[in-house]
A and B are shown apart, each in its own frame.
Chain A
């Protein structure tokens, strides 16, 4: 490092301590609040439950996992989680891509539209969720009012209270909350695509669709993959929206893994069992996470949350 060259040799040892001093406070917190709890959480999933605490006294091997395999609520939760992640990420991407493509055109008021579309990204999740809950309200909600007015339904739907609609309803809220992230990422990528490519293609007589498939999509491929990976991870771990709006109900119809873990731990006080549930999730999402890290270290990724 250039800085080191300027330093006299006898002070070199002290100088070499500097990076460690600089990173220590942050690194310590991360180990205490993120790394240690993860390790301890994984470990405790192999131990027997103790009263009101996270047992680490009696090793029981895979007992918690055996119990999990025979828990129908868990399988239901796993199925819901799969639907939740796939639907949320697909729709977020569709919304993100279409809005980014539109915002990449030149028209008056573009900046205003961009700012407006990004609003959900900064609205506190609780405020967004409550507002949606009010929109979904069975009796006085504006959504049912609109549907009744245009004649889709006479009585209105019980969006969050019915088994068929609860999961799709919370999915649409998650799409709303996370869609703008995809918009920003893809818009930045679109703006970096070389304009000259389009001009050349036009000279060759390429149409809209062929320009889109052969220039736009390859141009934003890396960012597309990165943002989809990040959205999968984020959605898989998302807890707030479902906890606030349905808490997994009715009859587990909208139960997803993080909420199931949380309820098992804090409502039923089965901390070790909850740890086992979360570890299954960790195993699944770990595959995506490792793939993301490998891409990143090859310098292909985008370092963004």
Chain B
């Protein structure tokens, strides 16, 4: 009887501890995001006050109207969408082919290529950018979408290829064999059989490539010179450089580029997480 009560008390206190501890950690991780959204819907008078409020007393969309109507933000948003969508498309096509080649064929140099893919993810971008910049100057592609798309793709391809390859490795080969016997080329097999079967992994890698390109900063900062060609992350970093920071419009712009990816992530997180941790549970 008493041991029963003791156990119950123990359970309740354990659960309370769990909730308190997880809440503290969660606040640390979520607060900057909440604060950004909250500031973006506050009027200037409420932003610059000695006593801040989390939930705005008077909410307004004035900051959003301001950035869309009075600044270059819509243009940079368009640039970001063009670059990120193209990056996603090219990355998916290239890495599905790449991963399929690595997963289903044994050829000379295969191990070398696989190790290279892992190794490239450790290359220091600050060294690469010096040379990449000079390459694009020579190709006359500074201030051009192509420079951004090509470089963003190259950063996304190694990771998504490795992930897709391990997905293909786990896929049954029988259907593809049957297709080969029926005279289907590897390329036909990819489009008719592999892509439909691997669609969860492909969707996850597509989101990954989009997020990477959408937030990419260093390349976009270096390879773009004119204001009209900037992507949102770079434009935002310039907005803060000048004398007085307009936190309201700035947080509104930050919210516009953050909210879509957060929503998509929450919606697809199952795929994303299983994609990321695929190898983790194998051992």
Contact = CB atoms under 8 A, between A and B. Distances in A.
Contacts of B4: none
Contact of A102 (B22, B50, B247): B22
B157 A23 contact: no
A25 interface: yes
Nearest to A281: B124
User: How large, as a class, is the contact surface on chain A?
Assistant: 35 or more
B189 to A, nearest CB: 9
B202 to A, nearest CB: 15
Contact of B130 (A95, A118, A265): A265
Interface in B31-53: 31-33, 35-36, 39, 47-52
Interface stretch (A58-66, A196-204, A255-263): A255-263
Interface in A93-113: 95, 98-99, 102-103, 105, 107, 113
Contact of A125 (B120, B153, B217, B277): B217
B52 A140 contact: yes
Contacts of B134: 53-54, 271
Contact of A140 (B35, B47, B265): B47
B218 A240 contact: yes
25 contacts: A2-B177, A34-B158, A38-B131, A40-B131, A41-B127, A41-B131, A44-B131, A95-B28, A99-B25, A116-B26, A122-B262, A123-B262, A124-B261, A126-B237, A126-B254, A127-B258, A134-B247, A188-B280, A191-B281, A265-B133, A278-B126, A296-B118, A297-B115, A302-B280, A302-B282
Interface in A40-69: 40-42, 44, 53-54
Interface string A126-156: 1110111111010010100100000000000
Interface in B11-36: 15, 18-19, 21-22, 25-26, 28-33, 35-36
A165 interface: no
Q: How large is the interface on B (under 10, 10 to 19, 20 to 34, 35 or more residues)?
A: 35 or more
Contacts of B102: 19, 23
Contacts of B113: 23, 27
B105 A124 contact: no
B130 A289 contact: no
Contact of A54 (B48, B130, B159): B130
Contacts of B161: 26
Contacts of A121: 265
A301 interface: yes
A2 B173 contact: yes
A240 B97 contact: no
B197 interface: no
B170 to A, nearest CB: 13
Contacts, number: 322
A99 B22 contact: yes
Given A26-B94, A237-B126, A261-B127, A134 B237 contact: no
A25 B98 contact: yes
Contacts of A21: 101
A148 B215 CA distance: 34
A244 B98 contact: no
Interface string B163-184: 1001000000100110011000
Nearest to B52: A142
B28 A176 contact: yes
B89 interface: no
Interface stretch (A82-90, A177-185, A209-217): A177-185
B126 A304 contact: no
B129 interface: yes
B250 interface: yes
Contacts of B36: 127, 130-131, 134
A7 B180 contact: yes
Contacts of B124: 236-237, 258, 261, 278, 281-282, 285
A206 interface: no
Given A265-B129, A304-B276, 16 more contacts: A3-B176, A19-B107, A22-B100, A33-B128, A36-B131, A40-B131, A54-B134, A124-B254, A142-B52, A184-B277, A188-B273, A239-B217, A244-B217, A261-B130, A285-B124, A305-B159
A6 B180 contact: yes
A257 B124 CA distance: 10
